[in-house]
């Protein structure tokens, strides 16, 4: 199943193979204070269904701020409570800096763009 949501300056493309399989979500645009609620709303039902591996493809993000990182952290914590993991794929430079500056990188699996 594929589902695409566009909220403001953030586009969210959800690709699900099966309810128990990993879910891939492609984000493009800006992930910030204005778009955080849209991402949270898009991820809540995925997490609620028991997803154990959420792959977020971030290669097309043009901007990420601390609020955007907060949304990613919320998802990581929610999945950790159900023994799952959030995988950050193709992390943009600004988010890479934020992960290091906030010492939150260990809460995620981080993949290079070459892996998918």
pTM as predicted: 0.87
- How many domains are contained in the chain? 1
Arithmetic mean of pLDDT over the chain = 89
Mapping DSSP to helix (H, G, I), strand (E, B) and coil, where does residue 68 land? helix
- pLDDT, tens digit (0-9, with 9 covering 90-100), for 76-112: 999 999 999 999 999 999 999 999 999 999 999 999 8
Q: Which pLDDT does position 80 carry in this prediction?
A: 96
Radius of gyration of the chain (CA): 13
Residue 33: domain span? 2-115
pLDDT in tens, 38-56: 999 999 999 999 899 999 9
What pLDDT does 1 receive? 44
CATH number for position 17 = 3.30.750.24
The torsion angles phi and psi of 115, rounded to 5 degrees, stand at -75, -30
């Amino acid at each position: 199943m594929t589902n695409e949501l566009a909220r403001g300056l953030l586009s969210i493309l959800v690709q699900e193979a099966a309810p128990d399989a990993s879910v891939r979500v492609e984000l493009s645009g800006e992930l910030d204070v204005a778009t955080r609620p849209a991402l949270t709303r898009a991820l809540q039902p995925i997490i609620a269904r028991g997803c154990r591996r959420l792959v977020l493809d971030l290669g097309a993000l043009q901007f990420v701020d601390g609020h955007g990182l907060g949304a990613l952290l919320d998802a990581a914590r929610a999945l950790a409570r159900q023994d799952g993991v959030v995988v950050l794929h193709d992390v943009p430079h600004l988010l890479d800096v934020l992960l290091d500056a906030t010492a939150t990188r260990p809460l995620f699996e981080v993949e290079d763009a070459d892996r998918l």
